[in-house]
Amino acid sequence: MLQFDSDLFDPSIASEFAEDGPGLFGIPWFDGPSLWQMLFRFAINLVVCWLIVGLLYYRKSKRRDYYFTFMLFSITIFFLIFLMDNVKVQIGFALGLFAIFGMIRYRTETVPIREMTYLFVVVGISVINGLAMTVSYTELIVTNVLIVLAVWLFETIHRKTHLECKIIVYEKVALAHADRENELMADLKLRTGLDIKRLEVGHIDYLKDIAYVKIYYASDKPANTVNELLKVKKDNFF
């Protein structure tokens, strides 16, 4: 009488001779554990990215276009990484995404460094949540919490120390003299109504009686995107 020896049983060999289970072309119609794992990780990723983008980024910038972009980037990258990991995509593919996004240039508008940083954070979080299959859920949650805390900490420090800047074409060339900086600042404060902390005098054109002055001022309002998009031909003097 034949006896079954469990020590000699190899599941990989047995699977070659097993018949296909219920499904289509060997793919099951429903995989409960994988589905719930995907939904749980997706919920973590969505909440974390919303905390970073919605509460930390959007509260200061008020840029709905980047809010929309960051959230959709997060969702798409998560599902791309999670589902392709099931077909054993190497981690080099995930790291290659950073190289791709590092070369991104939106032709309609130059992406500011702050927005590129948030994009990198969102993509990184999505890759971590979609690819970290060998760590415990506790480690995964702690990692996400630490990232959120780090963004909140540096965003708070940045908000307290950051100054907005603006380039002004100034016609009172006489006040651009190095010894009359206080008069120049007083005049610009009166004209602009801004709380100017410091200024820099750049190119001076005595033929046209104009000077290019860059002012730095404190502001509690959302970032002025016009300051970032405005092009001045002589801005290379700053």
| pLDDT for residue 93 | 60
Looking at the structure, do residues 145 and 233 belong to the same domain, yes or no? no
| pLDDT for residue 237 | 43
Looking at the structure, do residues 86 and 119 belong to the same domain, yes or no? yes
Q: Which residues span the domain enclosing 224? A: 164-237
Looking at the structure, do residues 149 and 169 belong to the same domain, yes or no? no
94 falls within a domain: yes
| pLDDT for residue 155 | 82
18 falls within a domain: no
pLDDT tens figures, 113-146? 788 888 888 888 888 888 777 778 888 889 999 9
Q: Taking the CB of residue 52, how many other CB atoms lie within 10 A of it? A: 24
| pLDDT for residue 46 | 92
> Mapping DSSP to helix (H, G, I), strand (E, B) and coil, where does residue 49 land?
helix
pTM, full prediction: 0.59
| pLDDT for residue 49 | 92
Looking at the structure, do residues 113 and 218 belong to the same domain, yes or no? no
| pLDDT for residue 20 | 47
Pairing of strands 195-205, 164-170: unpaired
Count of structural domains, the chain: 2
Structural domain ending residue among the three candidates 103, 129, 161: 161
Alpha helices in the chain (DSSP H): 11-17, 32-50, 58-61, 64-85, 91-102, 113-131, 137-161, 181-192, 225-229
Please list the residues that pair with 215 across neighbouring strands: 166, 199
Looking at the structure, do residues 54 and 156 belong to the same domain, yes or no? yes
Looking at the structure, do residues 142 and 54 belong to the same domain, yes or no? yes
Q: Give the angle subtended at the CA of 135 by the CAs of 130 and 138, to the nearest 5°.
A: 95
26 falls within a domain: no
Structural domain ending residue among the three candidates 129, 161, 193: 161
| pLDDT for residue 102 | 55
| pLDDT for residue 63 | 80
* pLDDT-flagged residues of the chain (< 70): 1-27, 85-111, 158-162, 220-238
Looking at the structure, do residues 118 and 37 belong to the same domain, yes or no? yes
Structural domain ending residue among the three candidates 119, 145, 161: 161
Q: CA 208, 212, 218, 223 torsion: positive or negative?
A: positive
192 falls within a domain: yes
| pLDDT for residue 35 | 82
Question: How far is 123 from 96, CA to CA, in rounded Å?
Answer: 12
Looking at the structure, do residues 107 and 223 belong to the same domain, yes or no? no
| pLDDT for residue 109 | 57
CATH number at residue 195: 3.30.70
